[in-house]
Amino acid sequence: MIPKHSQQEIKGPYRARGTSVFYNPQMVFTRDLTIAVVEHFIEEQKKPAQKMKFLDGLAGTGVRGIRLAKELKTKSEFDVVINEGNPEAIDLIKTNIKLNSLEDHITVENQNLNTLLTSTKFQFIDIDPFGSAVSFFDNAVRCVRPGGLLALTSTDTAPLCGTYVRTCKRRYDATPAKNEYMHESGLRILMGAFARTAAKYDIAIEPILLYSMDYYFRLFLKVTKGARRAEEMLSGVGHIVHNRSNNHRYSAPEPESNDNVYSIGPLWLGPLNDSDFVSSLNVSRNHFGSRTQLKKMCSIWPEESEMPPWHFDINNVASKLKIQPRKFKAIQQILVANGFSMVPTHFSPQGFKTDATMEDLRKLLK
Ligand SMILES: C[S@@+](CC[C@H](N)C(=O)[O-])C[C@H]1O[C@@H](n2cnc3c(N)ncnc32)[C@H](O)[C@@H]1O
């Protein structure tokens, strides 16, 4: 069912057909990326005091945990725990471990993830739920060893991007908006909510990489301890105030609202990734089915990391300014010549990030 070598993850098909076990071949991008992130994390560790432990918390077929063990076992000494709540999946996971001769590296648990997260600590935890990761976050962030990594997927983009406003308020205590940068603000609301939760426990989370793709958000977070660190982290949480009529936006510590403006947040206003970490990822391994796309993303992510916490859409800007849309390069030439930065954004092929305001764009492009 699971490929002996991840090369076969590219070719498939090896769905868990005929069982209730979940497997999605389209998620190969995030699984390849996870291998690259954990590989670099291992390289950065200075001789860990004890053998590291990694957790694939919501495993399905076990493909993530098996790939970690198989592809990184020569890099360091570590154990993998694969946990899955569906008892039907357990035999399948064990078979897959055997097929890959990884019995000495992996143990299998059949627990509710929240129970498991209260019993052991890990250096790396991957949580890949159906829908929101929110119900696992409190336990997960306390279960990561200081300096360790927490990776979370969330597929509830509709509430976070403003389709279901009340759900977003209930789940994340934040107000979303449906506009040209809703995928970015949705991802930032998620990060902001997790930062506020971590702070309750005097824990700080720092984005190694936050990204949005297709129908999901993914967060790789470095977890550290300390009230002061948590306090500093919270200074990166605030609001975006957006002007309905002229498309101007700015960040503010508190929400503002009147006939002209609405506010989005609380959300994360800080960097989207650790650009040095992301630039150092080895994503060109031959067996990575998504390596072309990964290479492209790894060239875009670091550049957009420190830019303002929103982006513009070429067509939307043109429509607001009542001008013909111009090509990315043409706009970039004008902005750069006038002392501004402009970079592509992974959130949208038609999008761009810039330190120019909407008023600057009006003056320069109209
Ligand atoms: C999206 S799937 C995981 C897919 C897998 N990580 C992959 O890459 O193919 C989510 C899995 O979590 C399991 N699950 C859901 N809630 C759980 C819980 N509270 N504890 C343990 N497992 C749970 C489901 O049975 C399902 O197999």
Sign (positive or negative) of CA dihedral 29, 150, 251, 335: negative
Report the CATH number of the 312-365 domain. 3.30.56.70
Q: Where are the domains of the chain?
A: 7-304, 312-365
CA-nearest residue for atom 6, ligand 1, is 59
pLDDT in tens, 313-357: 999 999 999 999 999 999 999 999 999 999 999 999 999 999 999
- At 3 the pLDDT is 43
Give the chain's end-to-end CA distance (angstroms, integer): 58
Strand order in the sheet with 52-56: 106-109, 78-83, 52-56, 122-127, 144-154, 216-225, 203-213
For residue 178 the two structure tokens come to 């449906």
CA-nearest residue for atom 16, ligand 1, is 85
Q: Tell whether ligand 1 has an atom less than 6 A from the beta carbon of residue 113.
A: yes
* Largest distance between two CA atoms of the chain: 65
- At 261 the pLDDT is 97
| Spacing, Cα 60 to ligand 1 middle (Å) | 5
Query: Model confidence at 19, in pLDDT bands (50, 70, 90)?
Result: low
| Spacing, Cα 172 to ligand 1 middle (Å) | 21
pLDDT at residue 143 tops 70: yes
CA-nearest residue for atom 25, ligand 1, is 86
What are the φ and ψ backbone dihedral angles of 154, each rounded to 5 degrees? -135, 125
Closest among 180, 182, 202 to 190, alpha carbons compared: 182
Query: Do the domains 7-304 and 312-365 sit in the same CATH topology, yes or no?
Result: no
Give the CATH fold of the 7-304 domain.
Rossmann fold (3.40.50)
CA angle, 52 as apex, 50 and 54 as ends, to 5°?
155
| Spacing, Cα 76 to ligand 1 middle (Å) | 27
Cβ neighbours of residue 220 under 8 Å, at least 6 residues apart?
37, 149, 150, 151, 207, 208, 209, 210
Q: Tell whether ligand 1 has an atom less than 6 A from the beta carbon of residue 238.
A: no
* Cα Rg of the chain, angstroms: 21
Cβ neighbours of residue 345 under 8 Å, at least 6 residues apart?
184, 300, 304, 307, 311, 351, 352, 353
Query: Model confidence at 48, in pLDDT bands (50, 70, 90)?
Result: low
- At 11 the pLDDT is 37
| Spacing, Cα 49 to ligand 1 middle (Å) | 31
- Percent of the chain predicted with pLDDT > 90: 88
| Spacing, Cα 127 to ligand 1 middle (Å) | 8
3-state secondary structure of 100: coil
CA 293 to mean position of chain CA atoms? 16
Distance CA 234, CA 205 (A): 10
CA-nearest residue for atom 4, ligand 1, is 60
| Spacing, Cα 190 to ligand 1 middle (Å) | 20
Q: Tell whether ligand 1 has an atom less than 6 A from the beta carbon of residue 260.
A: no
Segment 151-159 mean pLDDT:
98
Segment 260-287 mean pLDDT:
96
CA-nearest residue for atom 9, ligand 1, is 23
Q: Is 292 left (phi over 0), alpha (psi -120 to 50) or beta?
A: alpha
Q: Tell whether ligand 1 has an atom less than 6 A from the beta carbon of residue 25.
A: no
Q: Tell whether ligand 1 has an atom less than 6 A from the beta carbon of residue 24.
A: yes
CA-nearest residue for atom 27, ligand 1, is 60
- At 26 the pLDDT is 76
Is the pLDDT higher at 28 or at 195?
195
| Residue position matching structure tokens 């002392």 | 339
Query: Model confidence at 9, in pLDDT bands (50, 70, 90)?
Result: very low
Q: Tell whether ligand 1 has an atom less than 6 A from the beta carbon of residue 84.
A: yes
Is the pLDDT higher at 75 or at 14?
75
Distance CA 225, CA 240 (A): 28
Query: Model confidence at 17, in pLDDT bands (50, 70, 90)?
Result: low
CA atoms within 13 A on the CB side of 352: 24
Closest among 250, 366, 249, 264 to 319, alpha carbons compared: 366
Q: Closest ligand 1 atom to the C-alpha of 86?
A: 25
What are the φ and ψ backbone dihedral angles of 214, each rounded to 5 degrees? 45, -110
Which of 21, 31, 84, 139 has most ligand 1 atoms within 8 Å of CB, for mutation? 84
Q: Closest ligand 1 atom to the C-alpha of 21?
A: 27
Query: Model confidence at 18, in pLDDT bands (50, 70, 90)?
Result: low
Closest among 353, 357, 348, 349 to 321, alpha carbons compared: 357
Sign (positive or negative) of CA dihedral 324, 301, 27, 290: positive
Sign (positive or negative) of CA dihedral 58, 61, 67, 70: positive
pLDDT in tens, 304-314: 999 999 999 99
| Spacing, Cα 102 to ligand 1 middle (Å) | 21
Q: Tell whether ligand 1 has an atom less than 6 A from the beta carbon of residue 35.
A: no
